[in-house]
Structure 1
């Protein structure tokens, strides 16, 4: 099996990631505010739904590129036969490895973005500077573990289902799927994975918004561990 095209994976994955993140950014803002412990209206409601978009724009391309390069490389490295019953396992391992690598870039961007989404009066750079000053580099990686624990189950559901649906569709029509058909398969797989992992996503959001969570707690929780915030969320 030939090695994957790293340049194609980098560029295609990056462009796809940026396109999706920017087009759907308002929905992401609404989701974050719904999950915020402040409540939807206090977190900003429908006002300033593009707050935090600079962080998403900067982090989206390298994040998506890192994921797809890792995903394609691990698939190539494991090279199971396409008819093998181990194919779903290969896709699961490749997606999990991709998420672990991508989260190194995604989490700092996500922390800044989500805090901007629930504090629309603050600029993205101000929030970034404040995190570095108050919490240091560790503050940018607040919620890394919870993000990985959310993203891996998401990918374990999404990518094997996506690949299986494409293979089934290809078999039914006796040719490779078109781009729009792949998109339909991906939409179904992603929607189902999102539904299954939403509780983990809520926990991840509230851990990342820990500075805001502490205002809603009976005592200052700003230095509490992610486990404390997770248990409070539950």
Structure 2
């Protein structure tokens, strides 16, 4: 049976709907992941994901857990749309006469999808990380100021420094464009590619094969719960597999550093310093959080995608009026 022609508008809409739902559900865990990955030994503020979320709520309120969510909600639609639609496009192009794709071709399609998505992913992650990590930097500076005050015998400073203005996505974008041009928004592009391309190479073939196990018949779709579980399993496995690159990417894209924290000149310099100063286990920082983020994110995405919500909507719009 030949593959049916891909409906690109439907794929884009499905990917966008899935991204919006998924990000809204898991964003606080993603914030914890970023803060855990950004902190360096000797400057640790958070012992675990739950500790990070509790301290964030205490110091920044409930909505502090959604720092940077607006950027993600704005850009996740094109990002997820490009990723899912590109994978379908490449699978369609690589298939012949409706035959099942071989594993190398499935991996090649995933590679193409991961490469396409970084056009949107890199600037989105760049802005999101600054907003997510701002609370950690501010809290660390406050603790340092209180420690210095205590060491001076509790003497009050002659003039209290005004608090730094809270960063916004628009201000960060303007500053980056003014100082570095468009390249400023693409800092960490290499690390993003090294994370997202292997992720897609692992995720899409693994999902396709897990999802196929639940098909009642070769010509039928898998039940929605099979697609959800396959998306969760494939997403979490792929997320943990590429976590070392995600740690490096987060460090490279963090423009502000805490007190006595390392700076990095590039991917290899960052990886060497992490290995030397924090040990190999540092490359797994936030892996648990990342798996908890990616699993439902892609599970929801695949359910929306395979239910064909957009196809239904487009079909209603195209129905001729009586």
TM range, normalised to the smaller chain?
Answer: 0.7 to 0.9
The partner residue of 2:45 within 41, 48, 59 is 41
CA radius of gyration, larger in = 2
Tell which has more relative contact order, 1 or 2 (C-alpha 8 A, sep 6+).
2
Answer yes or no: is the 8 Å Cα contact 1:95–1:152 preserved in 2.
Answer: yes
Q: Is the 8 A contact 1:33 1:40 kept in 2?
A: no
Taking the aligned partners of 2:44 and 2:21, their CA distance within structure 1 comes to 26
1:75 paired residue number: 91
Q: Distance in 1 between matches of 2:112 and 2:17?
A: 20
Displacement of 1:187 after TM fit?
0.4
Change (3 A) 1:97 1:213: farther
Rounded Cα–Cα distance in structure 2 between residues aligned with 1:88 and 1:156: 10
**Structure 2 residue 184 is the aligned partner of structure 1 residue 139:** yes
* Cα distance, 1:179 vs structure 2: 1.4
For 2:116, the equivalent position in structure 1 comes to 101
Deviation at 1:82? 6.2
Partner of 1:169: 214
Change in CA separation of 1:174 and 1:9 when aligned onto 2, cut-off 3 Å: closer
How many residues align? The count is: 229
Aligned-partner Cα distance in 2 for 1:144–1:230: 15
Map of 1:66 onto structure 2 = 82
Question: Does the 8 Å CA contact 1:63/1:105 hold for their aligned counterparts?
Answer: yes
* Secondary structure of the structure 1 residue equivalent to 2:5: coil
5+ residue gaps, structure 1, are none
Q: CA deviation at 1:233?
A: 2.5
The 4+ residue runs of structure 1 with deviation greater than 6 A are none
Report the counterpart of residue 138 of structure 2 in structure 1.
none
Task: Summarize the Cα distance change of 1:211–1:159 in structure 2 as closer, same or farther, 3 Å threshold.
Answer: same
Q: Whole-Å Cα distance in 1 between the matches of residues 113 and 194 of structure 2? A: 13
Unpaired stretches in structure 2, ≥5 consecutive residues? 47-51, 136-165, 276-322
| Deviations 1:194-217 (CA, angstroms, capped at 9, x unpaired) | 122211111111111154279612
Going from structure 1 to structure 2, the CA distance change for 1:66 and 1:9 (only over 3 Å counts) comes to: same
